[in-house]
Structure 1
Amino acid sequence: MRSRTFGRTGRQVSEIGFGAWAIGASWGHVSEDDAIAALETALDAGVTFIDTADVYGDGRSEKLIARVLKARGGQRPFVATKAGRRLNPHVASAYTGEALQGFVDRSRDYLEMQTLDLVQLHCPPTDVYYHPEVFAALDAMKAAGKIADYGVSVERVEEALKAMEYPGVVSIQIIFNIFRQRPIERLFQRAIETETAIIARVPLASGLLTGKMSAATTFDASDHRQFNRHGEAFDVGETFSGVPYDVGLAAVEKIRPLVGDTTMAKFALKWILMFEAVTVAIPGAKNAEQALANADAATLPPLPDETMAALKAIYDEDIRPYVHQRW
């Protein structure tokens, strides 16, 4: 497993991380045993970056991570969590220093960490990025030793660019995959210039880019791919990357001949790693087999230039009209 530098923090993290949403909630039923096995397998395979959030199973994900890391002992991996989505209503005016401190303290308790490695604002309303007092509150928590660093998880490129104006923001988490290529245009160069880490989330477009789905695929009622198809619960861009399901399936068939002698999931993850600005991609895993396959993507050789060009052409022709200017 190769490592990359996590921006200005100087810390080294594995280029394939572990996205811990699925072991928390909203991806159908995942047993506790499967969740623990998935995380253990990822760590055994060299993963040193875990991304979670306080709302993933209302703390279930954080607690499972703490249990696994405590049992393993040794050098602890980099653990990033998120805060803000527990606000109800989830509005910009609710992002107060007091509220954020409460969320951070609960995560410190659940993760059993005196100082959190990284806290990310969890896709806040756009107006939050125009309130410097929010970032001042994070600075204060850093000064108090409750967090080592902070970043933001964003929906839109413009939100990322605005957030990077705050000197304390060390990382940007954003959806980036073969079906969401807009970050390449402006964000990535700016991230390189400012040494800001990029965390690529939803790297497999909610499973579309595994190539295993079809029109007949069904999803559990507790799976966001069933209940958030049209943005009923949160931003629709988080589900299938905002691409209409039938459009995504058709584009996958165009990608399939390019994959070669690996799986489409590994191929799609390797595509992300082809970009220098990306620090870590965070695929989720619901079991040990998926976790091992994700980690193995880092071993693939670089994709040829002609393959990269073909994937861009598929994006431009089939996907761009649905997502490019929206996020």
Structure 2
Amino acid sequence: MAQGYTAANLNAFVDRSLKNLEMERLDLVQLHCPPTEVYYQPEVFDAMDRMVAAGKISSYGVSVEKVEEGLKAIEYPGVKSVQIIYNIFRQRPARFIQEARDRGVAVIVRVPLASGLLTGKMTRETTFAANDHRLFNRNGEAFDKGETFAGVPYDVALEAVDEIRSLVPQNATMAQFALRWILMNDGVTTVIPGAKNAAQAKANAEASELPPLTDSAMEVLRALYLQKIAPFVHQQW
């Protein structure tokens, strides 16, 4: 079994969490990006099922890096949620999200703005702090590079962002437009964009109030992905 994913370790983690949070039961526990081999170890999911039966947790899910991991995870009936990267620059999960919906599994979208690229605020001159993964993890130096800019080379992504600008309606920011694109997939349960302040959090929430994107805009974004982005990311995640 992959290191750390034993029944004893999982139980110990949940017990510590219950104690630290002063709760009798956790609403949702997600295993964050386990190694791929974990998805082929039923004993891990059996351990989680036993904690549900014992009343320690209400539900559990997983956070995945790859579509294939998500598809394997939802074969386990106890998995109630999958967190996955999905955005205009990471379109491959679209069909997986529909499959999860059909099985009644919640989908939580992370990295929806591709580490800030899809806010439209970054340029070639933008600088990042030394402890910012957007500086030190562009090629996966510290963890999966797909977590940084959705795995798209920075210069390639900036060129694509420039093409997207013309599609953004006047009453929306590019970030809101990008979030609304995600919500066009009715299998998405919720999206978790980052926010530096209350104003950004409010603006993110307002994305759900925008009108649906037009068919022509969706077609342009799909073509842009296939022609300029997919060669770098599609088969990796």
TM (normalized to structure 2)? Answer: 0.96
Task: Look up the match of 1:139.
Answer: 49
Q: 1:111 to 1:245 in 2, by over 3 A?
A: farther
* In 2: Cα distance, 1:280 partner to 1:112 partner: 26
- Show the counterpart of 2:72: 162
Change (3 A) 1:110 1:242: farther
Q: Which amino acid in 1 is paired with 2:163?
A: K
Partner of 1:234: 143
**Alignment partners' CA distance in 2, 1:221 and 1:108:** 35
Counterpart of 1:250 in structure 2: which amino acid? E
Aligned to 1:291: 201
User: Which residue in 2 is equivalent to 1:309?
Assistant: 219
* Higher alpha-carbon deviation: 196-205 or 101-110: 101-110
Answering whether residue 86 of structure 2 is matched by residue 176 of structure 1, we say yes
Change (3 A) 1:240 1:111: farther
The answer for the alignment partner of 2:16 in structure 1 is 106
How well do the aligned residues superpose, as a CA RMSD in angstroms?
1.2
Structure 1 segment 197-208 matched on structure 2, within 5 A: 197-208=106-117
Structure with greater contact order relative to length (CA < 8 Å, sep ≥ 6): 1
Structure 2 partner of 1:259: 168
Deviation of 1:312 (Å): 0.5
Letter in 2 for 1:195: G
**Count of residues paired in the alignment:** 236
Percent of residue pairs identical? 66
Matches within 5 A, 1:110-129: 110-129=20-39
Residues 182 and 101 of structure 1: is their aligned pair in 2 closer, same or farther, counting only changes over 3 Å?
Answer: same
Aligned to 2:182: 272
- Give the counterpart of 2:124 among 215, 219, 227: 215
Deviation (angstroms), 1:191: 1.2
Q: Which runs of 4+ in 1 moved over 4 A?
A: none
CA distance in 2, matches of 1:253, 1:104: 45
Task: Quickly say closer, same or farther: Cα 1:109–1:250, change in 2 above 3 A.
Answer: farther
List gaps (5 residues or longer) in structure 1. 1-90
For 1:93, the equivalent position in structure 2 comes to 3
1:51 maps to: none
Partner SS state of residue 205, structure 1: coil
- Other structure's SS at 1:225 match: helix
- In the aligned structure 1, how far is the partner of 2:82 from the partner of 2:234? 18
Write the distance in 1 (CA, Å) between the matches of 2:83 and 2:21: 20
Give, in angstroms, the shift of residue 114 of structure 1: 2.2
TM-score (norm 1): 0.70
* Aligned pair partner of 1:153 in 51, 63, 88: 63
For 1:7-46, what aligned pairs fall within 5 Å after superposition?
A: none
Return the letter of the residue paired with 1:162: K
Letter in 1 for 2:132: D
- Which secondary structure state, in structure 2, belongs to the residue aligned with residue 220 of structure 1? coil
Question: How far off its partner does 1:94 sit?
Answer: 2.6
